[in-house]
Structure 1
Amino acid sequence: MPLFGRDTELKDLGALVDGPEDRSGMLIRGAAGIGKSALVDEAVAAAAIAGVRVLRTAGVEAEQNYAYAGLHRLLYPLRKQLDGLPPRQYYSLATALGLPDGGDEPTAYLVGLAALTLLADAAGERPLLIVAEDVHWLDPASAEVLAFVARRIDPEPIALIATLRDGVDSPLADAGLSLMGPEPLSDDHAAALLDLIAPELPAQTRHRLLAEAHGNPLALTELPSAVRDLDELPATLPLTERLERAFSARGTTLPAPTRTALLVAALNDSDSVTETLSAASILLGTQAGTEIFTPAVENRLLVLGRDTVTFRHPLMRSAFTTTATADERTRAHRALSDVLAAHPDRRAWQRAAAATGPDEQAARELENVAERARHRGGAVAALERAADLSGGPGLRADRLLRAAELAVDSGRRDTAERLVLAARALPTTPRHDATAAWLLSGFDDGVRENPSRITELAALAAAVAADGHPDAAMRILWGAAMRCFWSEPGPDTRPALLAVADELPIADDDPRLVAVSAYVAPFERGGRVIDRLRALASDTGRNPEVDRFLGSAALQVGAFDLAAHFSAAAAPGFRAAGQLGLLPRALTVQAWSLTRLGDLAAGAQAAAEAADFARETGQPFMHGLATAVQAEIAALRGDYPQAATLASDAERIGLAAGARPVLATVQLARGLAALGEGRYDDAFADLRRTHDPGDPSHSPALRAYFLAELTDAAIRAGQVDALRELLRGVEPAVASTPSPALHIGWRYAHALLATDTAEAHFTDALAVDLAAWPAERGRLHLSYGEWLRRQRRVVESRTHLRTAREIFDALGFTAWSERTRLELRSAGESSPNRDPDARDRLTPHELSIARLAAQGLTNREIGQRLYLSHRTVSTHLHRIFPKLGVSSRTDLAALLPADEDTTA
């Protein structure tokens, strides 16, 4: 049948199929019956003509609880190629697809990487079109994997077309696909379609059908056969419901046995004709054969394959489930459960659907389903349904909270909140109350909550510890401590948290306790924390979560060298395990610390990856913090327009809920840009805001680590008295903690403020070991050289200025390099132009790939590290080599020494 009124859509789909390497894909979104499937069929036909291979899957409402069901359908034709995957990817995908040699539950990201590799390999032989219809009904695991793939197929000869019903969400809606929204047919096109379908309709009926259909192609195609039933359908019903009613009315004319078989087919979570006939036979009390479907096929309700039975449209399927009585549905589900003895998970779901009240046996079977689930989304659904069937409120609360915990772990905030709310509505025990209280603390680290909540969590942690649950108390305390980073709870709350922490029966060197101390009291406990961090620094790489805790703790106390060390150690474990939700947290700490230390190339690389993964995994405030670091890097490199854009982006995120570290880093970036442009008053105003308790960018810890920038701005803006006042506010912290960042800034400030003793201050500051802090060493040499020149000690000044120039050139601090060159020129010495470093010619993403290639890793190994296909890596390397003027990995190794790598 020709398509009417879809010329533009067909042109766009044709272009996608003809050149999949130029476009990632299309999301066709529209109302039921608007013609999404018809457009897909045209694209598939065009692919056949163009020699493009097509792989298809579709969401099925009855399969939503079966993890990776949709992915299994998509990848089944490629099953023989699984053996070519790297081992970790193979076992992840084999587990997801339920193959016998699978392993433990994989993350959706590892499964996604395996699927991407498999698809990219297939596309290397022949361009590929992936079709995923009705993605609103895909099981969550498959939808997540397809969204992961969609974000990464730009460089591949792969295109993806997905269809999504209006008003329903899906991970694929945010996967970067171009949106196509077919509109209702125009009056002329609707009339032409109706005339083709039913040319003999009387004029009055034809006019009415056109009015009823509102340009919906499915309605125009199907309503003519149900025209006699239209008078029984209220005109106020939505078109979708009117169509369902029309389909169900068509079903009433069918023989009773056929209607029974249709109901079974509608409720079955498989299209197996054998299963449907077996269950129908139980209900009918006699053996049913395929001829039972003949009347439905003749009425254009079903398509009967050799081994399958499917409805022509999802609305036809739902028509038979919604119009059946509760007793009819119960009996059909029970019959299906009887024929699924060889499929325990499916049998459990059918048995649960047949339950009409509490059924503890069915609930326990669903708990077993949750234990076997290959994706936490499926486990959550099984436990939630088990809770519905529970015999008592205690069991129901237990199952709801277990489901909520899994939802938290998989990042499904809305689901977790709904489950916790349901559990709290039941009669619960103190244990239930405690569990419910801390479950949601992991989302956004409590940023969106009132700071007064921190005091409540402290009291709860104390109560839980008193009840003999120290680990649970520790988890609650950690959630409270994280809130102290993102927000400011007030002076009374922090001591209360410390008091609880001190009473916990947990070893003092427990990484969680070290991190809690750092977050809650970075100055008061700074010395103790730093001592423990140094003691633990040689024992990294065993547990990425421990390394992440310690990296975060190091950042809080201003030990940025240790923060970079621990967070770099955490990243490989998160990558290998596919824990992409935790990876951006480690990468952001790494980026923040490396940038403060002066390693802009590595910092930019980590920040870019952190921002991408934080956005993909739904962590807005980590994304904001990583973006703010990118703004800081742009300012230090002298790209002031880019710095302003990134700072504004980060500020929008931070202001949404008052995320103070994001806003403080934004002010740092703006202050650095203003310094570089010579706007010293603006620079001082920007940086001063972080010291104002009434300002949303005030961050008690971080503000103490920007003293050098604050001093530069204040001195040049003539704000010496204001600077001295701000330094007095920091003096108690200086006295209480050995924080490296704080003391480096403190010494620098006093060197610039000193008059008669300035030289002694500069000498003392430079005598400190700053090997790990090159940016600070460069700043000291620059300022000392400037001071010496002002003292007319020009020859001595040149030595320090040359050192500063070499440091800033090596670090890529463009603005600071230029400032140093001006000083040298004033001291009577010219400077050669700085040659761009190899790292400056690459984007952060390209630099990640180049560094790994320089270490000798293959394209596949690089892809595994960065969650890309090996073909994408190859494409990037073909761009990288000409940029750097090299032709081999050996040449890369000479330009990018292995000790600079930060992507491990």
Structure 2
Amino acid sequence: MPPTAWPFVGREPVVADVRSRLDGDRHVVITGAAGLGKTRVAQEIIDRYAASGTPVVRVVASPASAPVPLAPLAALVGDAIGIEAMNAARRSVAALARQGSSRPLLSVDDLHLLDEASAIVIHQLLTTGTVRVLATVRSSATCPPAVDRLRQSTGVDHVELGTMADADIADLVERALGGPLSGHARSVIITSAAGNPMYARELVEGSVAAGAMQRHGGVYGFEGRMVATPLLEEVVLARLAPFEGAERTALELLAVGGRLEQPLVERVAGFEPLERLERLGILVAEEHAGRLVLDVGHPLYRELTRARLGALARMRIYRTLAEVDAALANPSGTSTPDEQLRAAVWSIRGGLPVESVILTAAAHRAAATGNTPLAAELAHEASRRTGTTQDAMLASWCLSLDGDHDQAIAVLRTALRNETDPWTRAAVRLRIAEEHWWFGDLDSGRAVLDEAAAEPGPWDALREAQLSAHAALAGDVTESVRLGSPLMDHAHPWVRFVAAVGYCLGMIYGDGADEGLRAARALTESLAGTDVQPIGDPGQHHAIQVLGMVAAGELAAARDAADAAYAGAQLSPSQQARAWAAMLVGLVAELAGDLRSGARALAEAERLWTTVRVWGFAVWCGAALARAQAECGDLDEAATTLARVQAYPRPPQMLNGHLLDLASAWVAGAGGDRVAAAQHIAAAVRHSAAAGAVANEAEAWHEAARLGVLDLVDHLPDPRGWSRPRSALAAARFDLVQARLTGDPVAWERAASGFAAMGAHGYAAEAATGAAAAYRRAGSSRDAARLDGLAGTHLARTTALATPLVARRAATGPLTPREAEIARLAAGHLSNRQIAEQLVVSERTVENHLYRIFIKLAVTGRDDLAAALAATEQG
């Protein structure tokens, strides 16, 4: 259901400013464009004055009341007219003044719509000092003379209400939804609303009602294009309705063509219509690279204008753009790659002929800019026309990035039948195998590579490289290193590119993170200027480097790289690019202890990977999400996520498949089933050890220590045979496990230092908490206090951490940090919905937390919480 209650956000400075003026016996007119929230701000001010005992009169003007003199003032003047209306108004206000503690406040909404008689009465009340006036006026409106005189009166201040800050728009939407937005949804809403809260509200309500915006893993994202409510369409289209002829033509050109050079639009629509549209704010003109560029004045002008153009109308506009662009082209015939791409798109969509070589170049340019849906459209058309394997490879690659793996394989199979060059045939088979692997069919992928054995030659190296990558994706890191290592210095860049996937992942998840990271960086340098699009996604190696930084303990650098990629991907048309970016941010944020950001990004990544049917990564992200939710204390969300992820199709063996076992362990452990938790961890340890995945084995043992199940020796392998790994993160995990086994406070403190050095603040807080408890048991109260303070320092750099090791710190008593936070809010008389909005969780999560809080504190209701919390803190 669409949200029904929208909070008051981002306007407190305006409220404070207006109240200060009114308290100083000034009158205030709030001006601003439609939809900026003038009425909401005025209502907030009215409510606060009324709550303090100030008499308030609210007048609402409207187009319907404007023809009827004094209609908006009926509550003050009754049926009086002329001078009697003035006297009646004074009597009514005087009666109100006797009831309150201060001079009455008269609020007039949409002052510009007042009739002359009403404006005169209010003007008289204002000039005689009978009332303080607070009014709103639309900045673009034409006011009657009496209203203008009122506005220009002595003692009247004008306060301009500007657009809302991007962060406030996002906060408004998230609080209304009761859950966080995905990065992409946040960017789309901010861009589309352009600071207008009404636009944001109507876009969200329309999209939720139409199913275009949905909640997944606690995070709201778009499943399709935004949908405006009828009200928003009416408001925006009313603004555009007066324009016909050349003005309408110019608007449609910009709606379809995007930002356009002024000479191109002028050639079609003329100069005067453009000037008029600019004066009215319908279009904007800006200097860009020495040229004047035009665009629509608001993103919604484009969206709603395009939505009302039929297929033939759009084709006509594309054709016009292509023909005029050609007429204005540089006589020398030179143009930039972006100009060539634009011309090709306009021609194709306008039904005009395009040379195949231009079409292929345009497809490559679209791919290079990250617009893989457009690249797929152009490359597929080029492939149909030319029948070349090069075009087929590009088309399949772009189709794959958009999630259409079946069509990608069909295009490649057609190309393979016609191709004779052995190197190219090997590359095509490599791509077919990769497509099978993306959606979890490892056996079919291996079978395709086995086909190549019938055509031996130097190109076999490419097959061996892909087998290395295949082994890594299947979780067999020992085999991936064995196969990939001899090929890392191969002369052919395609071989090096693919071999590095298997080798670097094998080293990172084995026990050679530093070497894996070095090799990944060296590969990137060696491929500078080399086109590897036909055989792989360059984004893979960026992801591998981030994973290498994590394993090597370079969390700060990993987060910087992940955050930069995430920020750059949010408005990308490529869902797979956004999936890579969200996955990396989520994994790194969780390790750093920023569980709120981590859970949000992982939920976004999981949804995107399922959309493009890359099930292995969907399971990876979904399992990590379930664990993060459990670490936050949101057990119901974690259980729901785990059940969803367990239903995804997946191969029997996969890279990071142990995460599903670890997520199951967290859900079981948080629910009180320690034996089941230990059994899930044991499965993760055995699978990781068998595959040579030392990093994953260390992670599994670390989770056993964090969940406190190392004592269940009948259900776990013997950890005493496990030696300390070399890679930084795995080594720190080992130290924590040993500290938990021995109970030695110095070992606990050593583990805390190791995690702190790499920026893993959540793990450091857990280890420091364990050290404080161990020192306390040893009778060293000074060291216990020191480590407890250190734990608090690290906890302050985390979000929502509520794991067993930190749950019983002295500052929170028997409650987890999240439970303590919710208990304090509930004790402060906030409703479940208000708490959910403030913490950006579901109401159901709040209810379940309160249930556990009541049990832990032995209380029966919210009224008892304040006393119970005070007693706990004193204890």
Give the TM-score, by structure 2 length: 0.49
